[in-house]
Amino acid sequence: MFSSKILLPNMSGKIDYVGDAVKAVAYNSHNTSKRSNTISIHTSNLVGRIWIQGSLKTNPDRKNKLDWFNIPLTNDTPYIEYNNAYKGKMVRQADIVVLKGSFVWLRAILDRSSYIGIEDQPYAPWDYVSTNLTTAINVDSDTSIPLNRQSFNYTPRKDYPKSSLNPQYDPEYYDMWKENFSKAYDRRMLSKDLGNVEKILICY
């Protein structure tokens, strides 16, 4: 009879997360000759990396990295990377990974902030020192008037690039503005667009 346990529960609202230790098949090695672990990964519009770590310790410490080791999930990387940002469209994905080895414990990790610059609100490439965002309606505002007293009913002097990562903005064009942009290959994303891990299971 097949059974399963949760390696990662629903990750809604979480950026990174280290799951709890779950018994792998070798935990009861005296009762079974099985040496493979089947992992079922369920995601929706996920942007992030999933890692699976194993331990041979009897009681591994959650915080002690020496008690854990990464288990390769692909031929090229020790993790599976998802880049499924579908705006306005829900796309669910299910993947099965078979881990061969006599692992006593397993745990799953959701990792995003180690390689993605995550923003909590929309950003723009040029900004006042006050960190207010630049938009097409306030780029020509009078810098001698405090921002909270400006009406921003100005007509832009020219068409401005719409991309928030456009590196062609000219810093000499704006008086008292500071550089605040990254080139287009940088991986900055809004946290609301990162998708979700619905669950990761170990199946026995």
For 39-60, the pLDDT digits (tens) are 999 999 999 999 999 999 999 9
Residues of each domain in the chain carrying CATH 2.60.120: 4-115+193-203
The three-state DSSP-derived secondary structure of the chain is CCCEEEEECCCCCCCCEECCCEECHHHHCCCCCCCEEEEEEEEECCEEEEEEEEECCCCCCCCCHHHCEECCCCCCCCEEEEECCCCCCCCEEEEEEEEECCCCEEEEEEECCCCCEEECCCCCCEEECCCCECCCCCCCCCCCCCHHHCCCCCCCCCCCCCCCCCCCCCHHHCCCEEECCCCCCCCEEEHHHCCEEEEEEEEC
- pLDDT given at position 28: 77
pLDDT confidence of 133, banded at 50, 70, 90?
Answer: very low
Where is pLDDT greater, at 53 or 186?
Answer: 53
Confidence (pTM): 0.68
Assigned fold of 4-115+193-203:
Jelly Rolls (2.60.120)
